[in-house]
Structure 1
């Protein structure tokens, strides 16, 4: 799910003006003394002023004025207006982090309205309150309840013939439906919205509606549809010659291009171990092209924008993007932006804009041999930001400024000053709900304490300081762990929000989320206890879940998972579970052996850069047609991960190794690790798990068998033909009770959906091209009529999951590959496996000649259903050994890329 508040409907319903950019807390910013709030007697003026203050980002002042309005309306017995003022007050309190107070105000508003006679005015206000309540519910992860609120609001707007209100609530329902995984229904509603907008007679509603729809689709990762909607808004704005609407549309289009650039940059970057709030640097040609398109769109937007706040926002976007592209701004450009910020009225945006400018220049200094901007100047901007936030009584903005001062001192290695300001930032938001900010400061405090202890020789450090020189056994290490644990707890509570942090924010998931998990695991694995080892496993699983959430732009739902440890102990006592973790200066492997409750650990000192280079080399080696013998790279990786534990694995009579792989390891097949004498697959069956949990696993032999098979022998959409697919499917049909076979022109989305609905299948076998990428939009399987995306695949298979009878136990994709040049492409495979809803997925890491695939798949099914091999992992092992030992397909190129994800039983 996605937890966001008011991204769309505020523009439609609250009359507070249209914001050009939907920004998270991390993007807002600037500073001057705040004016005193005048005491007004007329409540309608209080209400109007409160809305204006809210629009301008002066949330505390807005709340103060709105409280006056509530009180005066109460004294005058103007119940409907009192309820409306409470609604606006709830929104202001929510932005200040007072979630409990906000919900209380909204409840009071509803309680005032419900007993009243249903007049037009009462219904208008009640619909607004329902809309706000839906936003609050969605922000708490209660998507079903939020939809119910918006349905009620929609019905009221429909009765009132209020097309604007209907559009706003309909758009919000699309967001909630997506968060529930109801993509088919969400798309149906989206189609209805687009039709309504296209046919609406009011061009102003068209401009606002298309733009709101586009910005909302952008937030949930639907970039192509978002661009189409914004282009529609721009087209209408051009006809109407509306400068403000053209500016807003161009800005939205620029933000989409920036997100595309971020995605390209993420594909090319190695996995992130950086400090925090990192400083991305674009080198990829495609990313730079996207960023240049964004800069062009921002320039067009500047031609039309008149509002000083919007102008500053765009200029700040330009500055940070230019620095990402490696373009150093001149002092004149920086001075121009600074002067522009000085002209702004005090607001959260103003405060946070100073912070973002300062952070960008901190990054610029880090990337330059000589500081571009002196540290005192940067601190002066941050001090100004903090002063504005203090005057505004805005603890979130104040914390953001103070914490960034701490970050500035951290970069200069001034640990005491850094700790002081970091603690100040934490204290400012201790009593409010601001987890998205607070986790950064607890993480920062953990880093500072760790560096302090490293200087004292208490913790292991990269310089090799001996940890045993500390005479005090009760060291300060628990303080470090507690700080990291606090940050971890907050991030877990924010899991629904992690996807949102990467879509339209300055700092991407790779710089703001991933490094934290790796650093926390690093700290836990320095002199670890059994508790630390267990926690480290949990931390890495949380990283993997966060990666998938970020991949899909929402949080993956799970249904009654079971722990791997329990599955191994009860259902497969010959399985060992291995968790290799790549850290900055070493590889750690945590192992759960058969029948043991105590975790084992091995640690090999090797830099992450060397590891990543070796993994890239290994992937090239095992894919090579010339690799008749085991490449040296396969022995090296074996020595890092498995060799220290191999003796224990043999001693415990292990049959199956279940790997929970850290990101960089997901792209290489564990089956090809080589002992120097033989491949690992010759000793153990191998399976992969996307995390520490599986969905209701059970042996395949315990389920009723019914198969749906399909594939392509013909060339489609530029992909080559696969002539041996027919042989492969015939071999499957000879072993399994195939209820439906769909080949070539019959292998279409509608036919698959019909087959699954009419003939429940426990095995789905698709022999067709498929591509896995770190971008959800580039992960697909090829049908005769289309490229079926991972979301569409989930929608296609969803009825089987919801029916809760004869679920898909095994999904086979036998002709797939991971995208070339995408260092995180295996994430697409994991994402597809999770979203498909099948308990097991058998797929390939690279494309295998179709004759070899047909040979292996035939042997896999023969082992599983004719030889009655114990489980799917061992059946796959025997099929791979069949190719390795008895066929022309001995080279790893042919048998190694087949991987089993999920339930191996």
Structure 2
């Protein structure tokens, strides 16, 4: 297996490349300028040529050709020379333009400081110009320079600054009536708004862009604008809207006979269909996923067929098609593509794009090694990629090629060579401070070291990968929006494998260990990363440390189950100094998850009580029995769970102790936390109960979805009103989005109670609450409930979501519930995991509010209300769907 030795070991030095997009499309490939920077580059150069068609401006034009060819180092040298010559001739205007282009080119190389210096100098020069004869032209270039600066700021995680910069540029474009530039600018703004969590503002901006484009006559510019908008909608998770807009782009391109725009739109349509595949798989819709697979294949094939005048689009489409076929294990069809792709790659000129194509090709081939594809051939392709990147002095690309080749060595078992290559890739990545790539090589190094049985060094490498991911938390999706579709393959395993290493301790040992504390922190970070990925932006702002609260609440224990491949780890935090330890339960992940999945299916069916009890007994034995004595010795009466993975889809109250013949709710008050941090706790008995209650009782048909009557809503709301001191009701026609927002803005409610259909899903677009006239999506709920801000007086103490449910078949559906709980800004959220259209829910809510009014904690009120129903009706279907998330006091 030493075939790699013939290729490039002597040449392989350390360097850094771009995080290869999951949906490979060079039109979206520029770092966080989102490909609009390329458009700005073109228009700036056009201005330069018109103003000063000299030998110096020819340098700028040559640099454009180098930029487009991905030869950025050479482009930098030409632009620096142009800047110097413009300085010598005191041509301030063209010097500013050259500097702006230089900033763009530096950005491609990851040279952030030099890029910042260049764009800052460009803007300063433009601000000194006062020539009245060319004010309009100067304003145009100034706005373009601001666009470049905004892209640079976003690429460095300065999202708010980027938004402000783009908004300043937009004002200029409006004065100039430059519709094309304004559309591009607003698409950029929407992405920044999304990254900041301003979803409604982002939505409004995108809607306005779409409206402007719709009113434009058919033209290549309109097709390109729709194309850009469709790509952004995909990156923000609006997959259906992305499809519609890209279809419109393709239609316009056909009308104006723009073959390049047609093939580009088809390529992006394929990428959106591919994103739909992963969305459908996560929802458990395998048949729909197959339909989208065929759709994506057709789009890629059609894009390749009509892209004859732009070979790069044809090659992109074929590479994406190849990857899709390999993922679907359609190897015979995939093999038929290989000669076509190989011949095109062999004829590529030296460029970063060429490097990326080779890496993309090799990554697909590496999944076909067992299907007549030789590792030696893959190594040769990657060696060529390293060679080209090295000749271009493109360290980002070289690092990615080196690291990918190192991964191939790892796959083939040549661990010493894999170690060498990965280390070289790391050195280059870190020399550029490119953490978006460095974390991948740290992870790869950790795997290699673990296979070499160097557990200590492997753990340290995983720690570096973990820290790199933490540093990227605010802008990982901005750097590579498509990471959302590959999160479970490219991000989540890092956290779990790191925890696996940290907790390789003797079974059932009581230890005060830094490793245990760190493992708990890593799982916390994973849960935050999952929510970030769900919302496409950072979510939880830490407020109060849960450990400190446990120290005050002496009867409360916090339990963190962690699902690993071959075992279940349970970390327990008990009151008392240093009272943290873990227990190991040897149960394979698939066995545990199958038990949870079956229980999740049985719980919403009242007649399946025996099956429910059987599975819940098994889960009790895994989750609770190993720590029973510890809980008893500490006199614990309340349990707070920080759940992992599929465990979030079932209520912990259901766990059944076969020896005592009691459900867990009969022994403990129970609540859930989405992480180790929570809003500043404030016991509800110290707050005047002032409730906004709303519901939809009648049958509704909204957005093509049918919602049956909820016959007990009126009774439920009356019972709530009878138990709280003051309330405002919105029932049926009065419960609209506008009325809800009006009430939230005008009055400080301690409780918001919504009795209506709703659904929690791992798909953010399928997480909603029904109002009379619309589906209130989770993003809108976030903005709505925070309309008064997050002042101490304005914070909602308890949000109750009655009659909601988790999406059927969605193994990660409770992620949507956690998202609602975190984003709503309420201190606590009480929700149902399945719909119980029965008078028991009215009885439950009445008892809940009676207990709250009596001054007990929220988790105790929940326990007592559930026990009241349990005393009348033993079947878990009726008493078990309720979960409390957040502050339990």
TM-score between both structures, scaled by the size of structure 1: 0.89
Instruction: Report the CA distance between 1:699 and its aligned residue.
Output: 0.9
Of 868, 889, 897, 2:855 maps to 868
Asked if residue 137 in structure 1 is aligned to residue 116 in structure 2, the reply is no
Asked if residue 562 in structure 1 is aligned to residue 544 in structure 2, the reply is yes
Of 644, 649, 653, 2:631 maps to 649
Partner of 2:555: 574
CA deviations 1:744-785 (Å, max 9, x no partner) are 122211221122223332211111111111101111111111
Confirm or deny: 8 A CA contact 1:215 1:252 kept in the other structure.
yes
Instruction: Report the CA distance between 1:600 and its aligned residue.
Output: 1.3
Partner Cα separation in structure 1 for residue 682 and residue 67 of structure 2: 54
SS across alignment from 1:800 = coil
Asked if residue 859 in structure 1 is aligned to residue 837 in structure 2, the reply is no
Partner Cα separation in structure 1 for residue 394 and residue 42 of structure 2: 23
Partner of 1:672: 654
Per the alignment, do residues 448 and 17 of structure 1 end up closer, same or farther by CA in structure 2, a change over 3 Å counting? farther
Instruction: Report the CA distance between 1:75 and its aligned residue.
Output: 2.1
Instruction: Report the CA distance between 1:877 and its aligned residue.
Output: 0.7
Confirm or deny: 8 A CA contact 1:622 1:893 kept in the other structure.
yes
Show the 5 A alignment for 1:286-435. Answer: 286-305=288-307, 306-328=309-331, 329=333, 331-365=335-369, 370-435=370-435
Partner Cα separation in structure 2 for residue 855 and residue 323 of structure 1: 54
Confirm or deny: 8 A CA contact 2:736 2:772 kept in the other structure.
yes
CA deviations 1:329-386 (Å, max 9, x no partner) are 3544211111011222221121121111111121233xxxx43201111111111111
Partner of 2:878: 894
CA RMSD in angstroms comes to 2.3
Confirm or deny: 8 A CA contact 1:364 1:372 kept in the other structure.
yes
Confirm or deny: 8 A CA contact 1:615 1:668 kept in the other structure.
yes
Confirm or deny: 8 A CA contact 1:50 1:63 kept in the other structure.
yes
Partner Cα separation in structure 2 for residue 286 and residue 502 of structure 1: 26
Which has the higher mean CA deviation after the structures are superposed, 222-231 or 208-217? 222-231
Per the alignment, do residues 342 and 293 of structure 1 end up closer, same or farther by CA in structure 2, a change over 3 Å counting? same
Partner of 2:700: 716
Partner of 1:13: 40
Partner of 1:271: none
Which has the higher mean CA deviation after the structures are superposed, 543-552 or 41-50? 41-50
Confirm or deny: 8 A CA contact 1:748 1:783 kept in the other structure.
yes
Instruction: Report the CA distance between 1:876 and its aligned residue.
Output: 0.3
Partner of 2:139: 123
Confirm or deny: 8 A CA contact 2:86 2:94 kept in the other structure.
yes
Per the alignment, do residues 199 and 620 of structure 1 end up closer, same or farther by CA in structure 2, a change over 3 Å counting? closer
Confirm or deny: 8 A CA contact 1:708 1:741 kept in the other structure.
yes
Of 59, 65, 71, 2:84 maps to 71
SS across alignment from 1:761 = coil
Confirm or deny: 8 A CA contact 1:840 1:903 kept in the other structure.
yes
Per the alignment, do residues 318 and 548 of structure 1 end up closer, same or farther by CA in structure 2, a change over 3 Å counting? same
Asked if residue 535 in structure 1 is aligned to residue 518 in structure 2, the reply is yes
Instruction: Report the CA distance between 1:517 and its aligned residue.
Output: 0.6
Partner Cα separation in structure 1 for residue 609 and residue 376 of structure 2: 62
Of 881, 884, 892, 2:870 maps to 884
Confirm or deny: 8 A CA contact 2:550 2:574 kept in the other structure.
no
Partner Cα separation in structure 1 for residue 851 and residue 419 of structure 2: 61
Confirm or deny: 8 A CA contact 2:32 2:478 kept in the other structure.
no
Asked if residue 797 in structure 1 is aligned to residue 775 in structure 2, the reply is no
Which has the higher mean CA deviation after the structures are superposed, 62-71 or 316-325? 62-71
Partner Cα separation in structure 2 for residue 133 and residue 292 of structure 1: 41
Of 652, 671, 675, 1:687 maps to 671
Per the alignment, do residues 330 and 693 of structure 1 end up closer, same or farther by CA in structure 2, a change over 3 Å counting? closer
Partner of 1:469: none
Instruction: Report the CA distance between 1:302 and its aligned residue.
Output: 2.3
Partner of 2:739: 751
Per the alignment, do residues 820 and 52 of structure 1 end up closer, same or farther by CA in structure 2, a change over 3 Å counting? same
Asked if residue 903 in structure 1 is aligned to residue 887 in structure 2, the reply is yes
Which has the higher mean CA deviation after the structures are superposed, 334-343 or 135-144? 135-144
Instruction: Report the CA distance between 1:232 and its aligned residue.
Output: 2.6
Confirm or deny: 8 A CA contact 2:477 2:483 kept in the other structure.
no
Confirm or deny: 8 A CA contact 1:498 1:549 kept in the other structure.
no
Per the alignment, do residues 556 and 775 of structure 1 end up closer, same or farther by CA in structure 2, a change over 3 Å counting? same
Partner of 1:632: 614
Confirm or deny: 8 A CA contact 1:773 1:824 kept in the other structure.
yes
Confirm or deny: 8 A CA contact 2:570 2:623 kept in the other structure.
yes
Instruction: Report the CA distance between 1:853 and its aligned residue.
Output: 1.2
Instruction: Report the CA distance between 1:557 and its aligned residue.
Output: 4.9
Partner Cα separation in structure 1 for residue 733 and residue 44 of structure 2: 52
Instruction: Report the CA distance between 1:202 and its aligned residue.
Output: 6.9
TM-score between both structures, scaled by the size of structure 2: 0.91
Instruction: Report the CA distance between 1:738 and its aligned residue.
Output: 4.2
Confirm or deny: 8 A CA contact 2:250 2:261 kept in the other structure.
yes
Confirm or deny: 8 A CA contact 1:714 1:720 kept in the other structure.
yes
Partner of 1:730: 718
SS across alignment from 1:723 = coil
Instruction: Report the CA distance between 1:289 and its aligned residue.
Output: 1.0
Which has the higher mean CA deviation after the structures are superposed, 231-240 or 349-358? 231-240
Partner of 2:581: 600
Instruction: Report the CA distance between 1:581 and its aligned residue.
Output: 0.2
Instruction: Report the CA distance between 1:704 and its aligned residue.
Output: 3.3
Instruction: Report the CA distance between 1:727 and its aligned residue.
Output: 0.9
Give the number of aligned pairs. Answer: 837
Partner of 1:438: 438
Instruction: Report the CA distance between 1:520 and its aligned residue.
Output: 0.5
Partner of 2:805: 817
Runs of 5+ unmatched residues, structure 1? 19-39, 269-282, 454-475
Of 55, 63, 68, 1:42 maps to 55
Asked if residue 766 in structure 1 is aligned to residue 754 in structure 2, the reply is yes
SS across alignment from 1:774 = coil
Confirm or deny: 8 A CA contact 1:502 1:509 kept in the other structure.
no
CA deviations 1:298-323 (Å, max 9, x no partner) are 22222332212221111101111111
Asked if residue 238 in structure 1 is aligned to residue 293 in structure 2, the reply is no
Asked if residue 835 in structure 1 is aligned to residue 823 in structure 2, the reply is yes
Partner Cα separation in structure 2 for residue 614 and residue 585 of structure 1: 15
Partner Cα separation in structure 2 for residue 358 and residue 505 of structure 1: 20
Of 38, 42, 60, 2:73 maps to 60
SS across alignment from 1:879 = helix
Of 140, 147, 156, 2:163 maps to 147
Partner Cα separation in structure 2 for residue 788 and residue 394 of structure 1: 47
Partner Cα separation in structure 2 for residue 263 and residue 196 of structure 1: 30
